[in-house]
Amino acid sequence: MRRWFVRPAVLKLDISGIPEAWVNVEEAAHYYATDSVAYCYGDICASLRGGFSRLNARRSQIDIHPIIAIKGQSAAGKLLKSQPRLTRFNTKLFQRDRFTCAYCGGHYEARSLEREHIVPFAQGGKDTWMNVVAACRPCNQRKANRTPEQARMPLLYVPYVPTRWEDMILQMRQGHVLGDQMEFLRAGLPPHSRLV
Ligand SMILES: [Zn+2]
């Protein structure tokens, strides 16, 4: 925890302000050192000491801001076209669904939740953002290889594909997004987002 506090992740944007990735402080420092940072937001979140200057024997220091936009061509087209990946890890899914079972509405810890395929694999369902929800184990087992209609278990909320802004929040472990970063990312969330 403390290590994370000392070394926060830095949100990297493309020149047009679209979130591209989380980078570590060293990578961020590299962008500063190579004069690749076009602009930045937020209060300084880390300072890295560099080498001593031969001119005045002063040690250089790179102050790092929590959000940095990198010079160069806008990657907007590519970034906005690609869908955030649904990995085999459930962390992002459970966060999207606020650790709430889609069938009984109960709140659970991650270890009591499972990835539930709305249209089950057995009936041609795919492993995509639009076909998965968080469900508690008993609900998942009760529904089994049936659709919600067949099982008479209506969904309490609908799935959705996270935007890049949401995905950036989902990628980060809970509580590890800095205040300035959260504010920036929240401003880009769609109204239907469950992360608002
Ligand atoms: Zn349930």
94 CA to centre of ligand 1 in angstroms: 13
Q: Mean pLDDT throughout 117-137?
A: 97
90 CA to centre of ligand 1 in angstroms: 16
Which parts of 75-136 are beta strand (E)? Answer: 113-117, 132-136
pLDDT of residue 56: 72
Residue range 49-105, pLDDT digits in tens? 876 667 677 778 899 999 999 999 888 888 888 889 898 889 899 999 999 999 999
Burial group, residue 10, by CB count within 10 angstroms (0-12, 13-18, 19+): buried
Whether the pLDDT of residue 3 is over 50: the answer is no
Q: What is the DSSP letter of 165?
A: H
pLDDT of residue 58: 75
Confirm if 140 and 112 have CB atoms less than 8 A apart: no
Which of 51-60, 65-74, 129-138, 185-194 has the lowest average pLDDT? 51-60
Residue (of 148, 187, 192) closest to 165 by Cα position = 187
Domains of the chain: 2-83+172-187 (no CATH), 91-151 (1.10.30.50)
196 CA to centre of ligand 1 in angstroms: 23
pLDDT grade, residue 6 (50/70/90)? low
Q: Mean pLDDT throughout 102-116?
A: 97
